[in-house]
Amino acid sequence: MLEKIKKQFYKDTIKELLLINAKLSEESIHPNESISLVNRIFSITHQISGTGPMLGFNNTSKISKKVEKTFYEIRVGEKELTAPIIMQTRRALESIIDSMNLEFNSSMVISK
């Protein structure tokens, strides 16, 4: 049962991260979309940070916490969503995806 939950979490999370990263790759983000995008990034990184360790995504959770903190600060007005933050976020999301793939695939080999 836990493996089924882990697999679904993995699939859903990777899908959302890829969608977000594609959006961040666009030449410009419309101001009306930026609030929604900030909330999506915060939400997915918060989910990874909280649920990830319970499903064996420990390293992924550590990476995700840093992004979560940044986007929390943007949400509460302590920081602004700038081009450098977008670039760093794209790199961080790619690292999160790589880490999730590694942790998921290694756990599947162990459990077989």
Check if the beta carbon of residue 23 is closer than 8 Å to that of residue 39.
no
Where do the domains of the chain lie?
36-103
Angstrom distance (rounded) from CA 86 to CA 10: 23
Check if the beta carbon of residue 76 is closer than 8 Å to that of residue 70.
no
Angstrom distance (rounded) from CA 103 to CA 10: 10
Angstrom distance (rounded) from CA 19 to CA 8: 17
Tens place of pLDDT per residue across the chain (112 aa): 788 999 999 999 999 999 999 999 887 777 778 999 999 999 999 999 999 999 999 999 999 999 999 999 999 999 999 999 999 999 999 999 999 999 999 876 555 4
